[in-house]
Structure 1
Amino acid sequence: MGYKLPNGGTFQHAATYAAALAFTSVSNATEAVATVVDADLVVGDIVLIESGWSTLNGRVVRVKAATAVSITLEDIDTSDTQSFPAGSGGGTLKKIETWVQIPQITDVAFSGGEQQYTDVVFLEDKQGRQVPTDKSAASMVLTIADDPGKPFVKVLEAADAGRKVEAARLNLPGNDTIYYGAYTSFSKQPTVSRGNVLTRTVNLALQAEPTRYLA
């Protein structure tokens, strides 16, 4: 049995990216391999994916192996050809070059991501049943102390204005990191309450499943 506390964790948002690297195809495998040309990625790089496969699109992953012509995406299983139709997964990889920490977080709240169901009942049935369909859209909200002079403010303001999928990560104690691809929104007006710290909110509308690495 294991457990951990989040105390001491940090949250970071991508600040700068390398130019997008196109991949013409990606394999159906227990660890997907993207076919590229003249790549300069190295093992351990973190990349934001755009892909013709909607289940892969918007994910943030780590490079497990790299050559000039192929990139292995760590723990990304694309072997199910129903979810990942062969030959249609091409897209781009954008390496995150620098990150900026979002400090002074007072609360992290998650919502959505729940399994949705449709009710099925036939004429002869005495009891209906539920069949799973999809999962609801997911998001997370960071409540942070208002500090307009910090470096992260300009990064979040640019992400808010850009309306593009951005990379973010939660660094938990024990080399445990969770990566997210999300649209970022940053409140311009701090919450004002007498006797309390001014706060602002960072809203992340998640666009894909998070990716978690334990080392």
Structure 2
Amino acid sequence: MAVSLPNGTTMSLAKTYGAVIAVTAVSNAKPAVCTAAAHGLQDGDLVEVTSSWSKLNNRVFRVSASAAGTFALEGTDTTNAAMFRPGAARVSVREIETLEQITQVLESTSSGGEMGFTEVGFLEDDFASQLPTQASAQSIALNIADDPALPGYIAIKAAAESRSSRALVAALPSGSLILYNTIVSLNETPTFTKNQVMAVTATFSLKTPPVRYAAQ
């Protein structure tokens, strides 16, 4: 059994991305290996994936086993041919080139992710059963001490105005990483509560489930 405190966790937002890298083939393997000429990626780089395989699409992964013309998406498992149809993975990636740390975070909360259910009961039965459907949309809200001159605040504001996908990286004190792909919004109106720090709220709406990596 292990327990952890979030104290010391840093949150960073993707600020710049590289050019789109076309992937010509993806293996059905654990991890999935991508073929791309002159990709220029190195182990440890973070990439956003666009794919016709929905389980990979719009997610952020870490690069591993990088070699000339190939690289792996660490932590992926595409061995299920029914879910990942061989030869049908139209894939491209783009590297996250720079991250901007979001400082002065007072509180982080999450919402959504609750599983939905549908109830099934047949006429001939005297009982009903329940089937899971899908989880509700998720978001993360960061309560940030108000300072519009901070680089992190500026990065959040720019991301909110662009409404484009931005990776959010949570680096835990243990060395573990949680990678989110999000759409950013910002409430620039600070709170005014007597004897409390003025704060604004940035909301990160998740496009896909997060990807988590254990400490190396």
Using structure 2 for the length normalisation, give the TM-score.
0.94
Does structure 1 residue 90 correspond to structure 2 residue 85? no
Aligned to 1:75: 75
What is the distance in 1 between the residues matched to 2:153 and 2:33?
Answer: 36
Once the two structures are superposed, what CA deviation does each residue of 1:116-169 show, in whole Å capped at 9, x if it has no partner?
211100011111000122211111111110111111122112211221211111
Does structure 1 residue 174 correspond to structure 2 residue 174? yes
Is the Cα contact below 8 Å between 1:66 and 1:72 reproduced in 2? yes
Aligned to 2:131: 131
Structure 1, gaps ≥5 residues long: none
Aligned to 2:40: 40
SS of 2:13's partner is strand
1:90: how far off? 1.8
Once the two structures are superposed, what CA deviation does each residue of 1:55-94 show, in whole Å capped at 9, x if it has no partner?
2111111111112321100011122233322233222211
SS of 1:100's partner is strand
SS of 1:50's partner is strand
Aligned to 2:60: 60
What is the distance in 1 between the residues matched to 2:20 and 2:61?
Answer: 15
What is the distance in 1 between the residues matched to 2:89 and 2:203?
Answer: 29
What is the distance in 2 between the residues matched to 1:68 and 1:202?
Answer: 40
Structure 2, gaps ≥5 residues long: none
User: Mapping of 1:96-135 within 5 angstroms?
Assistant: 96-135=96-135
1:38: how far off? 1.4
1:192: how far off? 2.1
Q: CA RMSD in A?
A: 1.3
Aligned to 2:7: 7
SS of 1:29's partner is coil
SS of 2:5's partner is coil
1:173: how far off? 1.0
Identity of aligned residues (%): 40
Runs (4 or more) in structure 1 with deviation over 3 Å come to: none
1:18: how far off? 1.4
What is the distance in 2 between the residues matched to 1:116 and 1:55?
Answer: 19
What is the distance in 2 between the residues matched to 1:96 and 1:201?
Answer: 24
Q: How many residues align?
A: 215
1:8: how far off? 1.1
Is the Cα contact below 8 Å between 1:58 and 1:182 reproduced in 2? no
1:211: how far off? 1.1
SS of 1:39's partner is coil
